[in-house]
């Protein structure tokens, strides 16, 4: 079952191609990362999925509904955390949620228990009666997720949920997102330009650039595509000397050599490990480790953008 099915999606704003022929499929129960740099078209894509803006061309279904013609049905089943949250600073976290619950026509009695439940889920129960104006950005973001959860959505869309949040706060939010998928069987779409943070929680990612999806798949699949033609190695030695670096660079097939601390990264067109270990020996330093290096999403992403 596909939660999102989009084909040839386009959105043009006089002259600007915000989305330009996007195909997107999100499967039930997965965490999908929509990744791309600023201005790539992530938010515009999300607004189309929610029926908040109409596509210029293309077809899209969310949970089987057309977001333009059946916007209410999509909105009822989908929770959305926008890029910029709007809470009332003078109201407490609990009061803000109470207001949202009334907007969503959740009966007051039911709302009370539910609000407590979602506050506990996002770790804000202790500060629930403090004014939101005193909250940090990370706390506001967690309150935003609590708001999304109030209506028990089947599909959750989070636009840049960790942007502007320190690494520890981001880790907490991402752990929470992973737990939600497991405990509540939700399908989750996360948009972000922060690859290194997002990659560990996503089952699949789509890389969007200038309104087009340039790559899609699990991190393993994307790495495999890239690995054709290039080999990466990580070398640890007792001491990185200029002599060693020169010898490594001189190996036939080596494309680049970068040193950082006691680690050297080597990119080559072939498996040059035998030549590398010989170069280390000849340089008179000790070989501590030599291994093939798996691509990080950051590297995958940069590679696609360079092309
Ligand atoms: N309402 C609008 N009117 C005109 N141009 C727009 C509008 N909304 C977005 N754009 C343009 O469309 C392109 C894609 O914008 P979008 O907000 O979807 O990118 P994004 O990937 O979400 O970026 P960010 O990481 O900065 O949030 C940008 O060039 C932007 O300037
Ligand atoms: Mg955006």
Output the ligand 1 site: residues, CB below 6 A: 13, 16, 18, 36, 38-44, 83, 193
Sign of the dihedral defined by the CA atoms of residues 168, 170, 176, 178, in that order:
negative
- Residue 130, pLDDT above cutoff 90: yes
Q: Determine the residue of 21, 34, 36, 39 to mutate for testing ligand 1's pocket, defined as the one with the most ligand atoms within 8 A of the Cβ atom.
A: 39
Residue nearest to atom 18 of ligand 1 (CA): 41
Q: Which of 34, 33, 24, 35 is nearest to 2 (CA)?
A: 24
Rounded Cα distance, 254 and 232, in Å: 10
pTM for this model (two decimals): 0.78
* Ligand 1 centroid from CA 246, angstroms: 46
- Residue 307, pLDDT above cutoff 50: no
CATH superfamily placement of domain 2-217: P-loop containing nucleotide triphosphate hydrolases (3.40.50.300)
Residue 296, sorted as left (phi over 0), alpha (psi -120 to 50) or beta, turns out to be: beta
Q: What is the arrangement of strands in the sheet containing 263-268, beginning at the earlier edge strand?
A: 254-260, 263-268, 231-237, 287-292
Residue nearest to atom 4 of ligand 1 (CA): 13
User: What does the pLDDT average to over 202-229?
Assistant: 80
Most confident of 145-159, 191-205, 287-301: 145-159
Q: Determine the residue of 14, 18, 81, 160 to mutate for testing ligand 1's pocket, defined as the one with the most ligand atoms within 8 A of the Cβ atom.
A: 18
Q: Please report the pLDDT score of residue 294 as a whole number.
A: 61
- More confident site: 216 or 30: 30
Instruction: Decide the pairing of beta strands 155-159 and 187-192.
Output: parallel
pLDDT band at 37 (very low <50, low <70, confident <90, very high): confident
Mean pLDDT of the chain: 89
- Residue 306, pLDDT above cutoff 60: no
User: What does the pLDDT average to over 37-59?
Assistant: 94
* Ligand 1 centroid from CA 123, angstroms: 32
**pLDDT per residue over 226-283, tens digit each?**
666 577 889 999 999 999 999 999 999 898 899 998 999 998 887 899 999 999 999 9
Cβ < 5 A residues, ion ligand 2:
42-43
Q: What would the CATH number be for the domain defined by 228-306?
A: 3.30.70.100
Least confident of 7-21, 135-149, 291-305: 291-305
Sequence-separated (6 or more) residues with CB below 8 Å from residue 3 = 26, 27, 28, 62, 63, 154, 155, 187
Which ligand has an atom closest to residue 20 CA? Answer: 1
- Residue 304, pLDDT above cutoff 90: no
Residue nearest to atom 1 of ligand 1 (CA): 13
User: What does the pLDDT average to over 13-40?
Assistant: 92
**pLDDT per residue over 103-127, tens digit each?**
888 899 999 999 999 999 899 999 9
* Ligand 1 centroid from CA 165, angstroms: 22
Which ligand has an atom closest to residue 164 CA? Answer: 1
Residue nearest to atom 2 of ligand 1 (CA): 13
Q: Please report the pLDDT score of residue 232 as a whole number.
A: 81
pLDDT band at 78 (very low <50, low <70, confident <90, very high): very high
**pLDDT per residue over 91-106, tens digit each?**
999 999 999 999 888 8
- Give me the residue spans of the domains in the chain: 2-217, 228-306
**pLDDT per residue over 163-203, tens digit each?**
888 888 888 889 989 988 888 889 999 999 887 778 789 99
């Amino acid at each position: 079952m596909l939660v999102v099915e989009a084909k040839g999606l386009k959105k043009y704003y006089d002259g600007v191609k915000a989305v330009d022929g996007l195909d997107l499929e999100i499967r039930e129960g997965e965490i999908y990362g929509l990744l791309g740099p600023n201005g790539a078209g992530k938010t515009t894509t999300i607004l189309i999925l929610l029926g908040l803006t109409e596509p210029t061309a293309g077809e899209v279904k969310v949970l089987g509904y057309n977001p333009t013609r059946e916007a209410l049905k999509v909105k009822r089943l989908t929770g959305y955390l926008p890029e910029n949250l709007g809470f009332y600073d003078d109201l407490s976290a609990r009061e803000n949620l109470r207001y949202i619950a009334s907007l969503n026509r959740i009966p007051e009695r039911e709302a009370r228990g539910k609000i407590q439940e979602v506050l506990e889920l996002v770790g804000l129960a202790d500060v629930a009666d403090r004014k939101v104006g005193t909250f940090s950005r990370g706390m506001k973001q967690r309150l935003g997720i609590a708001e999304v959860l109030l209506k028990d959505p089947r599909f959750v869309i989070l636009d840049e949920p960790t942007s502007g949040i320190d690494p520890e706060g981001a880790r907490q939010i991402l752990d929470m997102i992973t737990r939600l998928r497991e405990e509540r069987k939700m399908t989750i779409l996360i948009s972000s330009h922060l690859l290194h943070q997002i990659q560990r929680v996503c089952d699949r990612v789509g890389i969007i650039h200038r309104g087009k999806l340039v790559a899609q798949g699990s991190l393993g699949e994307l790495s495999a595509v890239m690995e054709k033609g290039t080999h990466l190695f990580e070398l640890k030695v007792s001491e990185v000397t200029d002599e060693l670096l020169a010898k490594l660079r001189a190996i036939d097939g080596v494309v680049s050599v970068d040193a950082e601390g006691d680690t050297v990264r080597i990119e080559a067109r072939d498996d040059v490990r035998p030549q590398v270990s010989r170069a280390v020996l000849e340089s008179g330093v000790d070989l501590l480790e030599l291994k093939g290096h798996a691509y990080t999403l950051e590297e995958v992403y940069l590679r696609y953008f360079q092309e």
